[in-house]
Amino acid sequence: MNGKELKHHDCRNFIPVDVAKGICNVHKQMVLIDTPVCEKFRTLPKCKNCAHFTSDPNQDTMGTCEAEKTKPWTFADLITVTCENYSAK
Amino acid sequence: MPKKIADILKEKGIPINFQYGGTAPEELVDREVKKEPDPRPKKLLNLYFDTLSSATVEFPYWYTRKWKELEGDIPVIRRATAMKYAFSHLTPTIFPGEKLVMGKARYYRGSFPMPWESEGYFLAKEDELYQAALKKGSASADEVSKFGSGGGNVTKSFGSVVSIAGKFGIREEEVPALIRLSREWVGKSVDDLRSKYEQMMPDYDFKEKIMRSVICMFESGFTLPLGREVINYYYPLQYGFDGLIEMAKERKAEVAGNAGGDGVIGMDRLYFYEAVILVLEGIQTWILNYAKEARRLAAEETDPTQKAEYEEIAECLEWIAHKQPRTFREALQLIYTIHIAVLNEDAISGMSPGRVGQILWPWFEQDMEAGRTTEEEVIELLELHRVKMTCIDCFASAGVVGGVLSGNTFNNLCLGGLTRDGRPATNRLEFLILEAGIRCACPQPTLSVLYDEKLPEDFLLKAVECVKTGTGYPAWMNNRNAIEFLLWQYGREGMTLEEARAFSIGGCLETSPGAWHELTLNGKTYEIPGGAGQPTSVGVHFLANPKILECVLFNGRDHRTGEQVYPAHNRKLETYEELWEVYKQYYEMTVDVLCRANNIQHDIWRKNNMSIFHSLLKPDCLTKGHHIGNLGIRYNGTFNVESCGTVNLINSLAALKKLVYDEKKYTLDQIREAILANFGFKTAEEVGNYSLVTQEKKEGGEVWDDIHTDCLLAPKHGNADPYVDAILKEYEDWFCDMCTKYESLYAKPLYACQISVSTHGPQGAVTLATPDGRLAGTTYADASMSPYPGTDRNGPYAIFTSATCWDQTKSQNSQLNIKVHPSAIKGMEGARKLLEMTRAYMRAGGFHIQYNVVDSKVLRDAQEHPENYRELMVRVAGFTQYWVELGKHIQDEVIARTEYEAV
């Protein structure tokens, strides 16, 4: 993942207000999700950042969770702060 | 320049006025009472104003993942486990400045689809499944329902945001997951299964035609299966979640393997108690995840005040996740948490908090006595509660959320009423709730006064002060009427007078049964009310009364769709009695088929998608060991028949009776021709406005002037005219009795429910011109007792006479809305006049009255310049909504209502 792909809703400091914007908890101001992130960026746990995530070769926003026996499908942007199996890449 | 009807009427000197009792001042007049929210709620309310309705698939993803894994298990266990998994995995978000926390989803105004209810409309328009869904009758209401394009509605996609169901934005990154989730529920959702089994009804095609014609607005079994009811917070407030889990474990051990004398469902108790434990554990984890988030934020926060607030939040949540609340703040946080948890269990509108001032009284009283809080602190918390409740969005189809609800969620908080032993139930906390409603004007929770002659004058005047803010709340509900109705409907289920007094309003104005509970706090015992009935306004939803008359006049045919909806009656309709007879036949056929279809829908829902958390909150599920579907709840005769457009029907019948049958001035064929010609006017869709007054004449349309004038001048409801009042009485006597002939899936009789919510917009849109002179596509009169705009010429007391010509206690409700210019009720004298007017209606037997205190010129200006009116609220029909979030049909109708310049 390079810096250009990162969005504010990939950041642990971001408080999501709605689908377009949220509050940066570092700078204490409203930011649009789809604008460049800053140097204070901290990775938010999401499936795409998890060691157990295998991306679907045909659709990279979708994938599989390898942590469970049943290998359920999942999606890259699923937030996993509450997932007991999350393991940062 | 095409002529507008207003000009034509003026030229003809027809007394159709949109102002009564004088002329409004030329300048824009603001509301007299205006206060500001306290700083903290103001900041959070401002954040709301700038927030989009946002959907996420987080909850449905985790729910579906676990549901699939448990294939083959018992449905209630499967559902409870999936629910636990979903609650446990929701991402907690806390917004800076909040004291009350948690939400349906991670966004500030977040919600999510529930594809296990219905999956079709989640799919993209080009998707084959969506196209298939469109062919279903239930999609028809979606096509004619319009959202307001302002406020937080995401009516169009933009950037990385995709608009779904006409109102909600979803991140494009989540759309593939939404599609995949939707596909996984194809053939399994309540919607798909009901479709399969409804087709086993011999008259299924007839039912689908009814839906396509929008004679019926929607079906609830797969859209809004719960709601329009009163929640019950008692058990967690008394025992805490740990206590409830302990209780369920004990009961589980007692019933395991025992039928308990019930060979049909006795064994189900084991699974229910296990499901209760699972769901409660999930909710505890959900709360504790928020506590952890508060701790995390506190650890990272540099501002000491904010840091301390995060820590307070964490302490509060860590306590209420397990135990009975200790303080008012904890109790308020707990009831809000319970509320949101119920709303996450199912698609729900109108889950009303009930008599919160009486429920939270023990904590308020003890905190005040101990000096732990002040009234100002309590008001601030109540304002914060208002903001959080306003942030609630209900995710359902466009036809339901837009066409029926206008985006509203109907969390009705009631004040007043009586105690079990018949004393006024008002208390000091209820004054503070009103004050919070005045300061922090926002749609939720809407407020209602359960008006009783015994209520103290100072309390009633405080309620009037709130009305004068123009928020549209509180509405006034007749306590005595409601009690009489409840005893009539629920006496057969054992309701006593004392228990009837525990009622509250569910949704906008659905009288809902309640129960009293003994609550102990620090050794002191109190009695608090809570909901004790199943959802109401589940049943037959919003029958378009004038549209059915249209079908009678045109031999069962719907001219809009071109379909033969009803079997042709082939009657000449030579007498009024014959016309009325055919009307009743068509109507009863409609109720009959919809009732059976609805029973199938709700039966599938109760088998596969039953409520568990919602059930355990209500008496007597925990005692009996049964959820709602197994009749665990105390009162089950809650299904009803809802009507819409009553006043246009009555006015039309009066016009036909007078012009065709009594005076024989026109033949029925002449009336039919005039209707098909829309009395020489363009359609409302062509004009782009949906109120009568702005309609434009077609070229050459003057040939219909005479007949149109006569139709408009025929007797109209709301003028104390015995001619038309007798027709209303005949209709009501029949309607209220007719509903009881039909039986819900719970084998209880249905009853009448007479509210319009927003359905008078879309249902008016599909109806041709009507014999009362209303034009094609324009909205019906709102509510059920409100006069058609501009036709009430004799003042409010004449409206009261007309509206109370029938026994309103035979119906769950009736609805009357009046628009009052702010200058008409100015000062204490104006306040007293408003109270006396309200009192007069209640004494005459009216069930509900509500006031829109607004200058119509403000509304017109707001329609032209919505950007200046983000905070403007109006009362529609049983609910208050932000002006900019209303569809144009409804905006036009509210503008057109008669404005009272004096009361």
pLDDT per residue as tens digits for the range B665-723: 999 999 999 999 999 999 999 999 998 888 999 999 999 999 999 999 999 999 999 99
Using alpha carbons, list the distances in angstroms from residue B538 to B450, B534, B604, B800. 23, 9, 14, 29
Residues A61 and A37 in one domain: no
Rounded mean pLDDT, B619-633: 98
Question: pLDDT-based confidence at B130, cuts 50/70/90?
Answer: very low
Q: How many CB atoms lie within 10 A of CB B446?
A: 31
**What is residue B697's DSSP assignment?**
B
Distance CA(B810)–CA(B485), nearest Å, equals 6
Which of B639, B663, B842, B665 has the alpha carbon at shortest distance from B742? Answer: B639
Among B54, B58, B300, the residue with its CB nearest the CB of A19 is: B54
Residues A37 and A55 in one domain: no
Which of B62, B81, B84, B83 has the alpha carbon at shortest distance from B73? Answer: B81
> B627 is written with which tokens?
């959820």
B52/A19 CB distance under 8 A: yes
Question: pLDDT-based confidence at B399, cuts 50/70/90?
Answer: low
In sequence order, the 6+-apart residues with CB closer than 8 A to the CB of B105 are: B54, B55, B56, B58, B59, B90, B111, B112
Asked if B72 reaches chain A (Cβ–Cβ under 8 Å), the answer is no
Distance CA(B335)–CA(B364), nearest Å, equals 14
Q: How many CB atoms lie within 10 A of CB B763?
A: 29
In sequence order, the 6+-apart residues with CB closer than 8 A to the CB of B864 are: none
Residues A89 and A49 in one domain: yes
Residues A49 and A89 in one domain: yes
Asked if A1 reaches chain B (Cβ–Cβ under 8 Å), the answer is no
Tell me, rounded to whole angstroms, the distance of Cα B822 from its chain centroid: 26
Which residues of chain B lie closer than 8 angstroms to A77, CB-CB? 171, 173-174
Question: pLDDT-based confidence at B743, cuts 50/70/90?
Answer: very high
- Backbone torsions φ then ψ of B531, nearest 5 degrees: -65, 145
Number of domains forming the structure of chain A: 2
Percent of chain B beyond pLDDT 70?
Answer: 96
Q: How many CB atoms lie within 10 A of CB B51?
A: 20
Residues A35 and A56 in one domain: no
In chain A, which residue's Cα lies nearest the Cα of B177? A75
- Backbone torsions φ then ψ of B360, nearest 5 degrees: -95, 0
What CATH number did the domain enclosing A56 receive? 2.20.70.100
**What is residue B218's DSSP assignment?**
E
Using alpha carbons, list the distances in angstroms from residue B333 to B597, B750, B895. 39, 36, 38
Give the residue with greater pLDDT, B136 vs A41. Answer: A41
Does pLDDT of B124 surpass 70? no
Residues A76 and A53 in one domain: yes
Distance CA(B546)–CA(B558), nearest Å, equals 12
Distance CA(B791)–CA(B782), nearest Å, equals 13
Q: Where are the beta strands (DSSP E) in B602-688?
A: 640-644
Distance CA(B183)–CA(B178), nearest Å, equals 9
Which residues of chain A lie closer than 8 angstroms to B55, CB-CB? 19
Does pLDDT of B352 surpass 70? yes
Distance CA(B49)–CA(B676), nearest Å, equals 44
Distance CA(B656)–CA(B271), nearest Å, equals 59
DSSP code string of B236-262: HHHHHHHHHHHHHHHHHHHHTT--TT-
> What are the respective helix, strand and coil percentages of chain A, to the nearest 5?
10, 35, 55
DSSP code string of B438-457: HHS--SSSEEEEEE-TTS-H
Look-up of token digits 């309705």: B53
pLDDT of residue B123: 63
> B326 is written with which tokens?
């200790």
Q: Please confirm, yes or no, whether B493 is among the known catalytic residues.
A: no
Helix (H, G, I), strand (E, B) or coil at B415: strand
Among A16, A17, A77, the residue with its CB nearest the CB of B174 is: A77
pLDDT of residue B140: 60
CB B198 within 8 A of CB B319: no
Least confident of B314-328, B358-372, B401-415, B570-584: B401-415
Give the number of residues written for chain A. Answer: 89
Residues A49 and A33 in one domain: no
**What is residue B350's DSSP assignment?**
E
Does pLDDT of B127 surpass 80? no
Least confident of B110-119, B290-299, B316-325: B110-119
Tens of pLDDT, residues B515-534: 999 999 999 999 999 999 99
pLDDT of residue B13: 74
pLDDT of residue B131: 44
DSSP code string of B798-811: HHHHHHTSS-GGGB
In sequence order, the 6+-apart residues with CB closer than 8 A to the CB of B131 are: none
Using alpha carbons, list the distances in angstroms from residue B584 to A6, B653, B756, B759. 64, 13, 20, 21
Options B508, B551, B711, B753, the catalytic residue:
B508
Question: pLDDT-based confidence at B139, cuts 50/70/90?
Answer: low
Q: How many CB atoms lie within 10 A of CB B543?
A: 24
State the smallest CA–CA distance between residue A59 and chain B in angstroms: 9
CB B608 within 8 A of CB B225: no
Amino acid B303 reads D
CB B896 within 8 A of CB B780: no
Distance CA(B30)–CA(B45), nearest Å, equals 21
Tell me, rounded to whole angstroms, the distance of Cα B448 from its chain centroid: 13
Last residue of a domain, one of A27, A44, A61: A44
Among A11, A18, A27, most B C-beta atoms within 10 A, so best to mutate, is A18
Look-up of token digits 């809305």: B817
Look-up of token digits 């407020």: B447
CB B396 within 8 A of CB B224: yes
pLDDT of residue B888: 87
Helix (H, G, I), strand (E, B) or coil at B587: helix
Helix (H, G, I), strand (E, B) or coil at B820: strand
Distance CA(A57)–CA(B461), nearest Å, equals 68
Q: How many CB atoms lie within 10 A of CB B482?
A: 28
Residues A1 and A34 in one domain: yes
Distance CA(B745)–CA(B603), nearest Å, equals 7
Residues A38 and A59 in one domain: no
Asked if A33 reaches chain B (Cβ–Cβ under 8 Å), the answer is yes
Residues A33 and A70 in one domain: no
**What is residue A79's DSSP assignment?**
B
CB B160 within 8 A of CB A5: no
Using alpha carbons, list the distances in angstroms from residue B379 to B108, B433, B437, B689. 22, 7, 9, 42
Among B65, B68, B106, the residue with its CB nearest the CB of A16 is: B106
DSSP code string of B62-117: HHHHHHHHTTTS-HHHHHHHHHHHHHHHPPP---TT-SS---SSSSTTEE---TTT
A18/B108 CB distance under 8 A: yes
pLDDT of residue B353: 98
Amino acid B644 reads C
Question: pLDDT-based confidence at B24, cuts 50/70/90?
Answer: confident
Which segment, B145-154, B161-170, B431-440, B856-865, is predicted with the most confidence on average?
B431-440
Bridge-based pairing state of the strands B524-531 and B514-521 = antiparallel
Q: Please confirm, yes or no, whether B510 is among the known catalytic residues.
A: yes
Distance CA(B454)–CA(B242), nearest Å, equals 40
Q: How many CB atoms lie within 10 A of CB A35?
A: 10
Options B510, B642, B732, B899, the catalytic residue:
B510
Q: Which of B282-293 are b and which e, b meaning 16 or more Cβ less than 10 Å from the residue's Cβ? A: bbbbbbbbbbeb
* Number of inter-chain CB pairs under 8 A, A vs B: 86
CB B308 within 8 A of CB B186: no
B109/A18 CB distance under 8 A: yes
Which residues of chain A lie closer than 8 angstroms to B50, CB-CB? 17
Q: Where are the beta strands (DSSP E) in B615-660?
A: 640-644
Does pLDDT of B120 surpass 80? no
Cis peptide before B458 (omega within 30 of 0): no
State the ipTM, two decimals.
0.97
Among A18, A62, A82, the residue with its CB nearest the CB of B54 is: A18
To the nearest whole number, what is the mean pLDDT of chain B? Answer: 94
CB B77 within 8 A of CB B610: no
Residues A1 and A21 in one domain: yes
The angle subtended at Cα B120 by Cα B115 and Cα B121, nearest 5°, is: 95
Helix (H, G, I), strand (E, B) or coil at B738: helix
In sequence order, the 6+-apart residues with CB closer than 8 A to the CB of B678 are: B698, B768, B769, B775, B776
Residues A55 and A32 in one domain: no
**What is residue B659's DSSP assignment?**
I
Helix (H, G, I), strand (E, B) or coil at B274: helix
Tens of pLDDT, residues B636-667: 999 999 999 999 999 999 999 999 999 999 99
Rounded mean pLDDT, B746-775: 96
User: Which domain range does residue A9 map to?
Assistant: 1-44
Tens of pLDDT, residues B49-95: 999 999 999 999 999 999 999 999 999 999 999 999 999 999 999 99
pLDDT of residue B149: 59
Which of B196, B186, B175, B192 has the alpha carbon at shortest distance from B126? Answer: B175
B52/A18 CB distance under 8 A: yes
pLDDT of residue B137: 55
